[in-house]
Amino acid sequence: MSRRSVYIVIAIAAVAAFIWAAMEPANEGRITTEESVRLARQFKKSMKAEWAAQGKRYEPGAFPSEWAWRQRIYPYDRFDFEQLKQAVVQAQAMRIAARKMPAALSAAWVERGPTNIGARVSDIVFHPVNTQVIYAAISSGGVLRSDDGGASWTPITDDLPVITIGAIAIDPEDPDVIYVGTGEANAQSFSWFGMGLYKSTDAGATWTYKGLEETRYIARIVVDPANPERVWVAGTGALFGTNPERGIYRSLDAGESWELVLAVSDSTAGTDVAVDPERPDTVYAAMWERVRGLNYRKSAGHSSGIYRSFDGGETWHELTTGLPSGSDVGRIGISVCKSNPAVIYAIYADDPGYFAGVFKSVNGGDTWTQTNDEDLEDLYSSFGWYFGQIRVDPGNPNRVFAMGVPAYRSENGGSSWSEVGASMHVDHHAMDFDPTDYSRIVEGNDGGIYTSTNSGDSWTKRYDQHTNQFYAIEIDYQNPSRLYGGTQDNGTLRTVTGDPDDWEAIFGGDGFYCNVDPTDSDKIFVEYQYGNLYYSDDFADSWLRVMDGINSGDRRNWSTPVVMEPGNPSTMYYGTYRVYKTADRGSWWSAISGDLTGGNAGAGFGTITTIAVSPTDTDVIYVGTDDSNVWVTSNGGGAWTDISATLPDRWVTRVFVDPADENLAYVTFSGLRWDENIGYVYFTDDMGATWTDITGNLPAAPVNALVVDPALTSRVIVGTDVGCFYSDCRNGNWLLCGTGMPPVPVYDLKTHSPTRTLVAGTHGRSMYSLDLSGLPDSAAVPAGETAGVIDLVNHPNPFTSRTTVTFALPEASSVSLEVYDLAGRKVRTLSAGRRGAGTHRVTWDGTNESGRRVASGIYFLKVDTAQGTATRPLNLVR
């Protein structure tokens, strides 16, 4: 039976199982945490069957990225990368400005974990000499370094403006030289974008920007083993639409300049590069045709293929003999054996992403033969675009690893395969071999980092990685040391002690909203994808599905909102495209609204995204949707009023009701501006009759969460795609909230009123907490040009060789005028000393303190005076 026939039979069986399950009562018997993992997997299968029955292609791995993408892109069909970049730059300027803030005027975030449950690793590499040193690239958590063989890890890129990492490489002759490519390339719908390539010459202590910003996502970096001045980069380009800056780049001067040496088309990404270690002028490149729009996905094409150059990248020829061709060729990965470079392996996906085979060449790529792949049918599930990694043992050309949902190994050159990753987390992306002992391997997957000392026969999980991707979080009111959170691909997690290294998984699937009864900590609600809600009354020992009364045909969000009523936790609210209410902890739900969305399900929208119940009058309930609707009821759902007429047409991420007044509320939005004069945070004091935009100087990035300080309710705190910020008095003047948190997306915020603690759930660096009593009144913090420095500008901007900086002082003051690079490292002091009142001009010629010209890129002007501080970006273009 062919592979396609097998999938058809499976799909038919899954459809039957889905229909049977739909006829059963919504609630079922109690289950364990282990059984919840099985149920979540069955649900994905049933969703696949449902989509197949509707004639759609279901890609289970795409759901999280679809959800993340759609909320940021709505109502358009692509990203405005320039606006996102401006938001990143603005946030970085605020971080640089905060670095000289007196300790008395700052509060520090504390890591809360988990550190014992890792998250997605995109690349990993051994130090070429001291193999106790390992570097790991975390998809949205930066680069980690271990100096003890993987026992402990330290982040080394937290000063960069973005910490989404796609690739990492080390100079084999000078291991202090490290290259890092930003932007994770393992996506076909959404992943956090990058801002080019960075280089360190001091083992990661400091970093310098080295260009390639327009590649957006970097999939591979390779340093020539014979000539470290020659560096190769595979750039995938924009995820949405087309752009010409995708393909294979080459530098001949260690990253100082770059040349695009292989560009097949503006729709074809560079996804892998491999160099012949004996003849390094021989280079292999994997190219992948893929482009995406609102309702259009192309994961393969005629231009996908493997190319070879014999002359160091000057000319290229496609390799075709024995390899797949045609419109169905998807993502490709390649690996060259170090001890026998004539042996090369390539792994292929098709469109939409099923496994399409492992191919082997024994003559340097002249001809290829497909290996025996019968054992690998389940390797990619249906999302092979998420993987594309194959590794051959450097000392044994017959030992090769195929990496996908599971991990497989062949000991006979591909004639047969066996799974070797059953003890590891699924979804494998990274592997490297100890250059002094090839049997020692380090491996990265969606659950973190593992090591093997016996060529993969067994694996040891490595800990101390603060890298989890949270969707939603919760604090146990009775015991605030207990933190809960729903995560991407790691289920619902909990710590009962508050320590960062003792978290446990209490439910399977992708985890989302968590609710702990504030009067009884044994009573817990969790959910997995699309709002599958479960309840425990025994502190998570067992679980009961609580969905009776909720129509199984309702549209539901990937992260379905469910909240407890303040003061009465037996009463809860749940949002599909309408609001449901239970008065008995989910034993039965009743609809209390009609469809509150625009019903635009055909475009992937039409669900409720957020619900907020007033603590002072629980009949007042606010609701937001993914298609920009905001509603309120003042009689417990008897009647609803649309209050979104003057609000932006964007995905609503949060509504939040003031804890002391049901008339006061906030609403936050995702999305981009697209030259529109819209905000991200709005406030009402009349239950939505009117709204005030309080976005102010907040970086123009999607806002994901909002809370207020329980002891100072005029203080508003938001979590955004570029960090956490706060504003006092709702005046639109925002400051960086706390110190010590890297530039990571903040997806959720919660406060614990008695201890005045703020907890942030990040999507890439686990959880942090902050003592809000240490956060100063914003009026006490120097707040830029309104506090003494006026009209800090430079002209021209952008500039090529020289720019004039102008600033004005209302009174005489000591002044420090400095230039910083994008990583926050000081480049040049332009002025230091006392200046009189009035306008001052200083020229910068684009050189550093040593008088050497700096590279093109974004830099920051920073002025410090006795009265205040101002920071502004400037753009140097050589």
CA distances from 215 to 81, 92, 268, 285, 534 (A): 11, 21, 12, 16, 43
pLDDT, position 103: 63
Residues 741 and 824 in one domain: no
CA distances from 699 to 84, 716, 860 (A): 9, 15, 16
pLDDT, position 19: 32
Choose the final residue of a domain: 45, 60, 75.
60
Q: Name the residue range of residue 255's domain.
A: 118-462
Whole-model pTM over 0.85: yes
Q: What does the pLDDT average to over 576-584?
A: 98
With 0-12 CB in 10 A as exposed, 13-18 as middle and 19+ as buried, what is 317? exposed
pLDDT per position as a tens digit, 200-233:
999 999 999 999 999 999 999 999 999 999 999 9
Residue 77 covered by a domain: no
Residues 656 and 752 in one domain: yes
Which of 287, 307, 201 has the alpha carbon at shortest distance from 247?
Answer: 287
Residues 721 and 644 in one domain: yes
Residue 67 covered by a domain: no
Residues 707 and 855 in one domain: no
pLDDT per position as a tens digit, 712-738:
999 999 999 999 999 998 888 899 999
Q: What does the pLDDT average to over 606-619?
A: 98
Residues 866 and 854 in one domain: yes
Choose the final residue of a domain: 762, 780, 798.
780
Choose the final residue of a domain: 745, 780, 815.
780
Residues 134 and 258 in one domain: yes
Residue 374 has pLDDT above 50, yes or no: yes
Strand order through the sheet with 681-684 = 652-657, 665-669, 681-684, 692-693
Residue 764 covered by a domain: yes
Distance between CA atoms of 11 and 529, rounded to whole angstroms?
20
pLDDT per position as a tens digit, 510-534:
999 999 999 999 999 999 999 999 9
Residue 103 covered by a domain: no
Residue 788 covered by a domain: yes
Residue 102 covered by a domain: no
Cis link prior to 648 (omega < 30° from 0)? no
Q: How many domains does the chain contain in total?
A: 4
Q: Confirm if 620 and 664 have CB atoms less than 8 A apart.
A: no
Residues 419 and 491 in one domain: no
Residues 564 and 672 in one domain: yes
pLDDT, position 25: 38
Residues 511 and 592 in one domain: yes
Q: Confirm if 635 and 55 have CB atoms less than 8 A apart.
A: no
Residue 758 has pLDDT above 60, yes or no: yes
Residues 384 and 479 in one domain: no
Distance between CA atoms of 184 and 467, rounded to whole angstroms?
15
Type of residue at 841: R
User: 673 pLDDT band (50/70/90 cuts)?
Assistant: confident
Q: Phi then psi for 780, rounded to 5 degrees?
A: -90, -10
CA distances from 419 to 153, 178, 347, 377, 387 (A): 28, 33, 16, 12, 16
CATH code, domain with 827: 2.60.40.4070
Residues 6+ apart with CB under 8 A from 734: 696, 697, 698, 718, 725, 726, 727
Choose the weakest-confidence range: 72-81, 631-640, 785-794.
785-794
- C-alpha dihedral over 344, 350, 356, 359, to 10 degrees? -20
Residues 445 and 474 in one domain: no
Residue 203 covered by a domain: yes
Residue 101 covered by a domain: no
Query: Mean pLDDT score of the chain, rounded to an integer?
Result: 90
Q: What is the DSSP annotation of 382-406?
A: T-GGG--EEEE-TT-TT-EEEESSS
CA distances from 278 to 44, 45, 127, 341, 364 (A): 46, 47, 20, 7, 12
CATH code, domain with 404: 2.130.10.10
Q: What does the pLDDT average to over 239-252?
A: 92
Residues 379 and 503 in one domain: no
pLDDT, position 27: 59
Tokens of 389: 């990694």
Residue 50 has pLDDT above 90, yes or no: no
Instruction: Quote the percentage of the chain above a pLDDT of 90.
Output: 75
